[in-house]
Amino acid sequence: MDVDKSKIENRKTQIEASGIWTLAEAAGGKILPVSFELLARGRALAQKRGVRLTAVLMTDRADPEGLEELIQRGSDAVLLVEHPALEHFLVEPHAACLVELIRRHHPEVVLAGATSTGRTLMPYVAVRVDAGLTADCTGLDIEPETGNLLQTRPAIGGNVMATIETPTARPQMATVRPRSTRPLPRETVRRGEILRQAPPAKLASRVRRLEFVPLPDARTIADADVVVSAGRGLKTRQNVRLVAELAEAFDAAVGASRDVVDRGWLDYPHQVGLSGKTIAPRLYVAVGISGAIQHLAGMQTAQTIVAINSDPEAQIFRVADVGIVGDLFTVVPMLTAAIRKAKELNAEDAEERGEKQDKE
């Protein structure tokens, strides 16, 4: 009788699997913010499951302070692989390390950010270890009894939210949208262990990194502290200038709802939501946006949300910290003028203080 050895190995791995893993990313030895966001997700799953949370870091050199911060922000242990070949992300050497670690330790769950690194590495590794993978998740939960990971992600162009389970294969693997959750605060009293792991014998790659060319426009909605977004309530493309002027007054980036992008009023890089960018700015101003669930999922982790809409029943007001019910064509120009005036007064005050100090 023929036996499928991969299925036997898979069942064996499922029985032995234990623990939640998150993939930490680093650049120039510095831990990237998405690593701490993932720990917040992993911490909730590990507590519910009653298992350890481990951060996995593969790099050419690890910053001791960064390793300590991984512990302070939720991990119980850090699996660390250091090797010169891991200085820059290349899928083959990083995958060789992660595959070796998975086969050595048998985690139940492996989470990575839906970054260029995570989206490249995780499918490659999933195939190598015969595991399931759900990409671009916005929500995660776990069944304590079975350990099944409940992976929620947008489907059918963002019009449906699908929850996916992997009941047999282990590890369960998922990528999570960056900025879809906030990192846990640092707990300086937390203690954990750094477990240094030997890299595989071969870390060769068929790909060479020649150079890195950054995008010419450094101000994107994903990185901005303040985002002002345009919605369908603006009615025409010409009226998007109202949002652009308000954004300029705020020194903010311009965002948009899906309706605005679909109508061609703004380009796709401005789109906020499940089918666009997930962002977590310090301030988010929604202008003429009703608040469809797809949009809310992309911006509800903002620290402060201001909504301007003429409909008092609009969904956006359910998540807004400040709601302004009124005609945006009246409210937005008034708000823009008030912000510009406040900035002028602050500049004058600063100039007067400077002159006073010079005289003293």
Which tens digits make up the pLDDT trace of 135-175? 988 889 998 888 899 998 877 665 677 889 988 889 999 99
Proportion of the chain above pLDDT 90, given as a percent: 61
Which has more confidence, 268 or 1? 268
* pLDDT attached to residue 339: 93
User: Predicted confidence band at 211 (pLDDT cuts at 50, 70, 90)?
Assistant: confident
CATH of 16-196, one of 2.40.50.140, 3.90.1150.10, 3.40.50.620, 3.20.20.80: 3.40.50.620
Render pLDDT for 184-209 as a digit per residue (tens, 0 to 9).
Answer: 999 999 999 999 999 898 888 888 88
Residue 356: the pLDDT is 57
- H helix or E strand, kind and range, residue 307: strand 304-309
User: What's the CA gap between 166 and 48, in Å, rounded?
Assistant: 18
Q: Is the pLDDT of residue 72 over 80?
A: yes
Q: Can you give the pLDDT at residue 4?
A: 45
pLDDT tens by residue, 102-128 = 999 999 999 999 988 999 999 999 999
Residue type, 222: A
Predicted pLDDT at 8? 36
Amino acid 46 reads: A
Please give the residue that has the higher pLDDT: either 280 or 57.
Answer: 57
Give me the sign of the Cα torsion angle 304, 306, 312, 315: negative
Which residue ranges make up each domain of the chain? 16-196, 226-356
Distance CA 304, CA 302 (A): 6
Judge if 16-196 and 226-356 fold alike in CATH terms: yes
Cβ-proximal residues to 76 (8 Å cutoff; 6+ apart), any chain: 46, 52, 53, 54, 192, 193
| The pLDDT value given to residue 94 | 95
* pLDDT, average across residues 266-289: 90
Entry pTM: 0.72
Question: Does position 82 have pLDDT exceeding 60, yes or no?
Answer: yes
CA 324/CA 314 separation, integer angstroms: 11
Coil, strand, or helix at residue 111?
strand
Q: Which residue has the tokens 């086969």?
A: 103
What pLDDT is attached to residue 219? 59
- Helix, strand or coil for residue 325? strand
Instruction: Assign 266 a pLDDT band (cuts: 50, 70, 90).
Output: very high
| Mean of all residue pLDDT scores within the chain | 87
Residues 6 or more apart in contact with residue 170 via CB below 8 angstroms: 10, 13, 14, 17, 106, 107, 108, 131
Encode pLDDT of 297-327 as tens digits.
888 888 899 999 999 999 999 999 999 999 9
pLDDT, tens only, 50-71: 999 999 999 998 889 999 999 9
Indicate the CATH number for domain 226-356.
3.40.50.1220
